[in-house]
Amino acid sequence: MRASNTSGYSLVETMFVCALAATLTGIAVPQFLTSLDDYRAAGAARYLTARLQQLRMEAVMRSTDVAVQFTQTAQGFTFREYVDGNGNGVRTLDIRRGVDRPVGAAEQLPDLFPGVDFGTLPGLPAVEGGPPPGNDPIKLGVNNILSFSSGGTSSSGSLYIKGRRAQYVIRVFGETGKVRVLRFIAATNRWNQL
């Protein structure tokens, strides 16, 4: 008689492997979600930075002011680009009257980057010695317009972009029209430049 060949895994071995896989998945999934959130928020900051740099170049090429206006709606903030139509800069009144023409459609960050929008985490510290942002994520003055001139300069301000856990700020420097992105590191309670 021949001995039967028993190959395979015992129930105990199978249960051990399943328990190990569940434990590793439980550890990895929160890290993955945090990384995905940070990746999306960083992508939104880079996207908006590229758009602002493109606007600056467009103002120089057109030899006229070009601006982006941020408008708060019930669904969050939208942003839209405008070109000066009468030589006095992009103004809210001229936008309403149709003198300053829109370029393209209005956009929202959550449509492009799910889970990301303009906003601030609670208790966020000041950036580079300025005042803390509080609850207003768009720091561009009363009309929330960021304008670029034909000389390459711009208005100054900050745009705060928030994911579920990640926080970024885009800083625009008026004299040069340059744009810089910083990331908030919660563990050190500091802003780091990208």
Q: What is the structure's pLDDT at 11?
A: 77
Mean pLDDT of 106-110: 95
Q: What is the structure's pLDDT at 102?
A: 96
In sequence order, the β-bridge partners of residue 138 are 159
Torsion of CA 89, 49, 179, 131, to 10 degrees: 90
Q: Is the confidence at residue 4, as pLDDT, over 60?
A: no
> Residue 182 phi/psi, 5° resolution?
-125, 150
| More confident call, 10 vs 191 | 191
Q: What is the structure's pLDDT at 18?
A: 78
Q: What is the structure's pLDDT at 13?
A: 76
**Beta strands, E only, 10-156:** 66-73, 76-83, 101-107, 117-118, 138-139, 145-148
DSSP string, 52-69: HHHHHHHHHHHTS-EEEE
Q: What is the pTM of this model?
A: 0.81
For the chain, list the domains and their CATH numbers. 11-193 (3.55.40.10)
Task: Judge whether 127 and 138 are in contact, CB under 8 Å.
Answer: no
Mean pLDDT of 154-161: 94
